[in-house]
Amino acid sequence: MRYGILFKKAHYRARLLSRTVLCLDNGKAYKVDILVANHMLAEAWKAVKADTIAHCFRHAGFVAAQEPEADDLNVSDLYGIDGGEDLMCDLRSGGVDVPATMTFKDFARADDTIVLCVEPTDEEIV
């Protein structure tokens, strides 16, 4: 199910960047409130393709299949997002301090290594 979360995060972050660029173009500061964040999350989940969800279930072992690791997939295939790199360039040209070496994939996966909760072992579950 991890890949489904990665896809959703990428869609959410692309929306966040798009809105930020739009505000930059209009000379406004962009602030995200809870309502807007919830709407963007809902839109991001809707943007995740059925094939992606099926892939997640296969990868979790519900169906025996050999799937490539996320890093082996094309970035646009992985996230299903076109223009991610354009958004990064738009931010840079809008005056946002984004490192020149940071790609959209780096941005979308910035928190992948953060442990959000303890993953119990089989023995702890049983």
Q: What average pLDDT values come out for the chain (126 residues) when binned by 10 residues?
A: 64 84 86 86 81 77 58 47 78 85 84 79 84
pLDDT, residue 114, reads 80
Distance CA 70, CA 77 (A): 10
Give residue 68's pLDDT. Answer: 52
Domain ranges (residues) in the chain: 2-125
| Residue of 69, 68, 80, 63 whose CA lies nearest to 8 | 80
pLDDT for residue 73: 44
How big is the chain, counted in residues? 126
- Strand (E) or helix (H) holding 22: helix 2-25
